[in-house]
Amino acid sequence: MTQGKFDPRLSRRNFVESALSLSALTAAAATLPAALPGMSQQAWAAGAPVKGYGVTTAQLKDWSIMTKSNGVTMDYTPTNADIGVFMRDVMSNDLGDTHDFFIFDGGTEDVLGPEGYYAPIVEDHPELTLWARTPDTWKRSDLIRADDTQWGVPVIGNGDAFGYFPEVIGANPNGQDEIPWTTFFEGEQVKGRVAIDRSWLQSMSETANFLKHHGRAEIEDPADLTQEEARAVADYLVERKQAGHFRTIFTAFEEQVQLLSNKEIDMINCWEPATRDANLALGPGTVVYAFTVEGYYKWGHGAYVATAAMDRDNVDNIYKVLNYFLGGEYRAYQAKERGYAGPNMDLGVEYAIEHGWPQEDVDLLRYTAEKVERKFEKPFWGKTTPSNADVMEEEWQRFLNA
């Protein structure tokens, strides 16, 4: 074949091939400038770090704060709040061989504790100095216990409800009113402008508690619905959906923030930090995270020690970390970054004052403590691994497809 330079086919061919090879180069080049200034996160780590695996919610922005305070370095593998991925990794991927502890939504110990993946907490371990002063509402919560055994240490938690705009439903703008879930599900003021979470664990339990509270359905445990109960709850939700009550079904945190800050909806059973982020755009107090009449969806992250880790030689360090989760520094940073409470909020307030945090941060910590106290007085339920998970999920799909 001759490759004459006037052959038009040649230039066409060369074009395509150079075009394609170039895009690959640019892909690499585009990411390089960003990659250069960084250093490996573990570069500074000395000694045997404690290896954790768990949700990013429990993560500090920078674990070196903890290293400064208790001398333990942390090597944390982040995962998503996807329960399936977590269960699969712990059960089938031998994570205990490589990792010392796990942080996940409390409830996993119902399955993973008795099956031997978690080691029971040694409550009198010398490094667990704050255990005795930790209130029972936190440490004896059934979210980190199963079969009368203490499987986990409480890390953070909250009672979830919904965010709303006070002026739309005529509520007191100070946000202290108790708003009934009835408004969320049936309020005429918000009809067609309600967003509901796609997570059935949260949405179905909240609906079930609402129906149970008003005696509209026979429900034993709103967080663990039997086939008939789940069907009744799904039927109710399908009816509301077809009545046009819901504007959207959301998933991601970003969606929650956007729905609120665009005022696309009037009510949303979102996570509390979403209302905080939305108020950054809308002005303080525009969106309120509700105190409710009927109760809250309770969740809490627990830290669990891997069974295999108890036979290794850094158990002391692991317990130092567990103790850290109960302490003031961790409390203060979690409340500041996410507005989430946890055990021993008083220590958090103390820490903030001692370290000269601005008054508004201290006030926020105080308010977070009061808020959680107040929520604890109401019915408070939630489960991550309900025994009827399979039927609840299937019924929820019926709602989604209706």
Partner 1 sequence: MLDRLTPSGVAVPAFLITWSLVVILPLLVIVLFSFLQVKSYRVVYVPTLGTWESVIDSGRWIVAVRTLRIAITMTLIELLLAFPFALWLAKGCKSKPAKAIIITLLTIPFFLDTSSRIIVWRSILGTNGIVNTVLTSMGIVDEPISWLLYSEFAVHFGMLGSYFPTMVFPIFMIMSLIDDDYIQASSDLGASPGQTLLYVILPMSLPGVVAGVVFTLVPLMAAFVEPQMLGGGFVNLLGNSVNSALQELKYPTAAALSTIVVALLGVCLAALILITRKRFDMSTMFQAIRR
Partner 2 sequence: MIGTSDLPTLALIDERQLADSSRFWRRVSRWKGWPTTAKWLGFFAIAMIYVPLVWLAVMSISQSPLSGIPYPLTTANYAALAADSRWIPPLQVSLVMSTLVAIVCMVIATMVGRSITRMRRPGGVLLLTLLPLFVPGLTMGAALFIFLRTMLGLKMGYWSIFLAQLVWALPFALLLVLVIASRFDLRLLEAAEDLGATPWRRFWDIEMPILRPGVFGAGVFGFLLSFNELLRSLFLRGVETTMPIYNWAMAASQQSQVPIIFSLATIILVVTLPVMGVFFWFLFVKLDRS
Site string for partner 2, 184-213 (x = CB under 8 A): ------------------------------
SS3 20: helix
Residue 18 interacts with partner 2 (CB under 8 A)? yes
Considering only 20, 116, 313, 377, the residue that binds partner 2 (CB under 8 A) is: 20
Based on CB atoms, which residue is closest to partner 1, 74 or 195? 195
> Cβ of residue 6: shortest distance to partner 2, in angstroms?
11
Determine, following the binding rule CB under 8 A, whether residue 271 of this chain makes contact with partner 2.
Answer: yes
Write the CB contacts of 219 (distance below 8 Å, at least 6 apart in sequence): 208, 209, 211, 212, 225, 229, 232, 233
The answer to whether 112 touches 91, Cβ cutoff 8 Å, is yes
Tell me phi and psi for residue 285, to 5 degrees. Answer: 80, 0
* Other beta carbons less than 10 A from residue 376's beta carbon: 15
Site string for partner 2, 45-74 (x = CB under 8 A): --------x-xxx-x-x-------------
What are the tokens at 152?
């986990």
Among partner 2, partner 1, none, the one that 70 touches (CB under a kind-dependent 5 to 8 A) is none
Residue 12 burial (10 A CB sphere; 0-12, 13-18, 19+)? exposed
State which residue, 142 or 337, has the beta carbon closest to partner 2: 337
Strands 194-197 and 246-250: parallel
**Burial of residue 89 (number of CB atoms within 10 Å: 0-12, 13-18, 19+):** middle
| 280 forms part of the interface with partner 2 (CB under 8 A) | yes
Q: Does 367 bind partner 2 (CB under 8 A)?
A: no
Residue 154: phi and psi, rounded to 5, are: -65, 140
Q: Which of 42, 40, 39 is nearest to 75 (CA)?
A: 42
Choosing from 241, 338, 366, 398, the residue that interacts with partner 2 (CB under 8 A) is 338
User: Could you list the residues that contact partner 1 (CB under 8 A)?
Assistant: 8-9, 12-13, 15-16, 19, 23, 26-27, 30, 82-85, 87-88, 91, 111, 192, 198, 200, 247-252, 254-255, 258, 262-264, 385, 387, 389-390, 393-398, 400-402
The answer for residues whose C-beta is within 8 angstroms of residue 167's C-beta and 6 or more apart is 173
Is there a contact between 327 and 344 (Cβ–Cβ < 8 Å)? Answer: yes
**Contact track, partner 2, 221-260, x by CB under 8 A:** -------------------------------xxx--xx--
Instruction: Report in angstroms how near the CB of residue 202 gets to partner 2 at its nearest.
Output: 13
**In this structure, are residues 86 and 276 in contact, taking their beta carbons and an 8 Å threshold?**
no
Residues of this chain that interact with partner 2 (CB under 8 A) are 1, 5, 9, 11, 13-24, 26-31, 33-35, 37-41, 53, 55-57, 59, 61, 77-82, 85, 88-89, 92-95, 98-99, 252-254, 257-258, 261-262, 271, 273-274, 277, 280-282, 337-338
